[in-house]
């Protein structure tokens, strides 16, 4: 998003009247092109690496420059110091605003919160797993049975099933993925 309004919308200077591109507007377009990256780096350092916030504050700085276009065009030698001063003040204001409001709290995903020991939930879950197990291949089902129901290690499962250990690992991986897909799980396997 450009900090300077586009020409097709009829640029508005501080008096709010639509006008043809003026010297102040042309100067500000050059200022945005020249100072965007340096201001972004400056603000990123001030904000301890918060690049998204730094980008927002760069835009706010250019918006304020746009509002003072004629004043800045009157003395172009003071543009850089003015921009950095405004950027610094905008960053200070943003940090104060964040400190003034309570910290944001992320709510836990209620789908992951363990339920209380509800027997009905357990019955539904067991039934869902049994149905899902029927949808995967017999080879995958056998590996899951050995490893998860009989608590066999990879080596023990390989011996019991008569297949190499690498095949057991591979089948276990794909079996779990297939089971998650069959259950409609939102978590990656």
> What range does the domain containing 27 cover?
7-100
Whether residues 123 and 172 share a domain: the answer is yes
Residue 114 lies in a domain: no
Tokens representing 42?
Answer: 């400056």
Q: Is the pLDDT of residue 47 over 70?
A: yes
pLDDT greater than 60 at residue 145: yes
89/129 same-domain check: no
| 82/126 same-domain check | no
Residue 113 located in a structural domain? no
When pLDDT is averaged across residues 126-138 and rounded to a whole number, the result is 86
Q: What is the distance in angstroms between the CA of the first residue and the CA of the last residue of the chain?
A: 38
Q: Enumerate residues 6+ apart whose C-beta is below 8 A from 135.
A: 178, 182
Residues 94 and 146 in one domain: no
pTM over 0.85: no
Residue 74 placed within a domain:
yes
Confidence category of residue 111, pLDDT binned at 50, 70, 90: low
Residues 94 and 125 in one domain: no
Work out the average pLDDT over 84-105: 85
56 located within any domain: yes
Q: What's the total number of domains in the chain?
A: 2
Kindly report the CATH number assigned to the domain that includes residue 25.
1.10.1740
What pLDDT does residue 24 have?
78
Q: 83 Cβ partners below 8 Å, 6+ apart?
A: 31, 35, 39, 61, 65
């Amino acid at each position: 998003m450009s900090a300077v309004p586009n020409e097709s919308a009829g640029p508005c200077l501080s008096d709010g009247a639509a006008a043809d591109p003026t010297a102040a507007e042309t100067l500000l377009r050059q200022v945005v092109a020249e100072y965007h990256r340096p201001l972004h780096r400056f603000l990123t350092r001030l904000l301890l690496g918060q690049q998204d916030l730094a980008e927002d504050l760069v835009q706010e700085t250019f918006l304020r420059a746009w509002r003072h276009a004629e004043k800045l065009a009157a003395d172009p030698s003071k543009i850089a110091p003015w921009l950095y001063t405004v950027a610094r003040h905008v960053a200070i204001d943003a940090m104060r605003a964040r400190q003034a409001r309570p910290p944001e709290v992320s709510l836990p995903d209620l789908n992951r919160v363990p339920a209380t020991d509800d027997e009905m939930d357990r019955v539904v879950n067991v039934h869902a797993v049994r149905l899902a197990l029927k949808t995967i291949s017999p080879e995958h089902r056998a590996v899951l049975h050995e490893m998860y129901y009989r608590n066999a290690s990879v080596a023990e499962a390989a011996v019991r099933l008569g297949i190499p250990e690498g095949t057991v690992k591979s089948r276990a991986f794909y079996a779990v993925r297939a089971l998650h897909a069959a259950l409609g799980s939102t978590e990656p396997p």
